[in-house]
Amino acid sequence: MYLTKEEEQILNGEAGETLRQAIEILVALGDIYGADRLIPIKSAQIAGVSYKTMGDAGLEWISDLQGKVKVPSILNPAGMDLEAWERLRISPDFAEKQKSIIQAYKKLGIRCECTCTPYALEDFDVGYGDHLAWSESSAVSYANSVIGARTNREGGPSALSAALLGKTANYGFHLDENRVPEVSIDVECSLQKSDYGALGYVAGKLVGSKVPIFRLKSIPEADELKALGAAMAASGAVALYHVNGVTPEACKLDFAETAEKITIERNQIDEVYESRRKAGEEPELITIGCPHCSAAELKMAAELLEGKTVSKEFWIFTSRELAKRYPEYIRIIEKSGAKVVCDTCMVVSPATNSYSCVMVNSGKAFAYVPGMCGAKAVYGDMETCVEEAVGRTQKKAGGFH
């Protein structure tokens, strides 16, 4: 791999130990994956923030790093709401460790808004063709597929290394030839809302890490693409997908027919919803917001909850910036007894571990909750999640304003 004179000096430790370690990680990855050089990045998104997944070893490593990041950099969800951690009964010990992790990242100049939807923030600019080093799998999928930016699915340490250097190794999804569809997926039925998360869950299992191109009978909106990509990244390892006539590269580029073709039918999608019946257990906790809720999703939750009272724990995850931007939605949601929780999510927070059955409206959470939280997961659309939380007989009392 070619290195400039300045990069050679960094690798020799002439710019300090932190940058030496950072470039060593990037050069090692570049050598493994055949990168020709390092390229500048526009931003970094760093996973490995929750104390639940990092533990003391991760905290110690980050605390030892020195210097400042060279590009706008932001964190993935942490293990708790940083301003109201007591609400989900996080232990004081966990909270202390989590705060130390956030402080260590802050010291490096990283923005401590903890979200997996940085593209939804007003001042975190990302556009078509931008090279990035993002690490949360749903954010990677959205950036590559829906925005047309270019990022590999970085690990936490490599995204942090890229942030500190302002560069990443030029391989994988940074290169045109790796962005070409490898398998086409025809979906034989029209889809709405949470069907896209269920479709992603099914498709990810079928395609693994290949780049699929979908031919759909309906036109998905941004939140539906977000759900589709998040689920495929979790049940499989899809970091880039295209949708014919919808996503930017599928619209701009003339992709050849793929040799491999798959068809997905309605009954395969319906099977994901069957999880509710198959669980043989009532959900004790209902969660939405994986990936973090958009403004439209908060609005929908507020409309569905207005005038109702929940009878089960109901957590709605979003970024702190969106929660601040839409106080009216938050007020209506919280009046019902549901909790709007920022900076964290149902998967990376230890709070979910004390429930045995969790209802989700996300294909990604459906894939991850059993392994990461030790709970059964059942899948339903947002309306069903609200019905489950309020009790199925309670009717809406008022209109939404």
Among 347, 359, 367, 377, binds ligand F3S (CB under 6 A): 347
Q: Label the pairing between strands 357-360 and 376-379.
A: parallel
Among 25, 78, 88, 116, binds ligand F3S (CB under 6 A): 116
With residue 330 as reference, give the H or E element that holds it. Answer: helix 327-335
> Residues with Cβ < 8 Å from 141, sequence gap 6 or more?
229, 230, 232, 233, 238, 239, 240, 241
In angstroms, give the least distance from the CB of 393 to ligand F3S: 30
What is the DSSP secondary structure assignment for residue 344, as one 8-state letter? B
> Which stretch in 93-101, 275-283, 363-371, 373-381 sits in contact with ligand F3S by CB under 6 A?
363-371
In angstroms, give the least distance from the CB of 167 to ligand F3S: 25
Q: How far is 27 from 29, CA to CA, in rounded Å?
A: 5
Read off the amino acid at residue 238.
Answer: V
Q: Phi first, then psi: what are they for 10, rounded to 5°?
A: -60, -45
* Interacting positions 312-341 with ligand F3S (CB under 6 A): 317
* Interacting positions 172-231 with ligand F3S (CB under 6 A): 230
Q: Are 133 and 163 in contact (CB under 8 A)?
A: yes
Determine if 136 is a binding residue for ligand F3S (CB under 6 A).
Answer: yes
Q: Which is nearer to ligand F3S, 47 or 163 (CB)?
A: 47
> Which stretch in 24-32, 185-193, 243-251, 362-370 sits in contact with ligand F3S by CB under 6 A?
362-370
How far is residue 168 from each of residues 68, 125, 154, measured CA to CA in Å?
16, 18, 10
Which tokens hold the place of 1?
A: 């791999």
With residue 389 as reference, give the H or E element that holds it. Answer: helix 382-390
Question: Total residues at the site for ligand F3S (CB under 6 A)?
Answer: 16
Q: Which is nearer to ligand F3S, 165 or 373 (CB)?
A: 373
Q: Which is nearer to ligand F3S, 44 or 347 (CB)?
A: 347
> Residues with Cβ < 8 Å from 345, sequence gap 6 or more?
77, 116, 289, 290, 292, 317, 365
178: nearest Cα among 146, 139, 210: 210
How far is residue 324 from each of residues 55, 137, 225, 340, measured CA to CA in Å?
30, 25, 24, 11
182: nearest Cα among 238, 144, 252: 238
Among 225, 316, 345, 385, binds ligand F3S (CB under 6 A): 345
- Residue 197's CB is within 10 A of a number of other CB atoms, namely 30
Determine if 77 is a binding residue for ligand F3S (CB under 6 A).
Answer: yes
In angstroms, give the least distance from the CB of 182 to ligand F3S: 24
> Which stretch in 67-75, 212-220, 330-338, 361-369 sits in contact with ligand F3S by CB under 6 A?
361-369
In angstroms, give the least distance from the CB of 135 to ligand F3S: 10
Q: Which is nearer to ligand F3S, 79 or 181 (CB)?
A: 79
SS3 87: helix
Q: Which is nearer to ligand F3S, 74 or 250 (CB)?
A: 74
Q: Which is nearer to ligand F3S, 181 or 291 (CB)?
A: 291
> Which stretch in 59-67, 125-133, 210-218, 342-350 sits in contact with ligand F3S by CB under 6 A?
342-350
Read off the amino acid at residue 324.
Answer: K
Determine if 352 is a binding residue for ligand F3S (CB under 6 A).
Answer: no
Residue 37 half-sphere exposure toward CB, CA atoms < 13 A: 9
Among 348, 373, 385, 389, binds ligand F3S (CB under 6 A): 348
Q: Are 193 and 381 in contact (CB under 8 A)?
A: yes
In angstroms, give the least distance from the CB of 52 to ligand F3S: 11
Q: Which is nearer to ligand F3S, 19 or 300 (CB)?
A: 300
Among 291, 350, 363, 380, binds ligand F3S (CB under 6 A): 291
Q: In the complex, which residues of this chain contact ligand F3S (CB under 6 A)?
A: 76-77, 116, 136, 138, 230, 290-292, 317, 345, 347-348, 364-365, 368
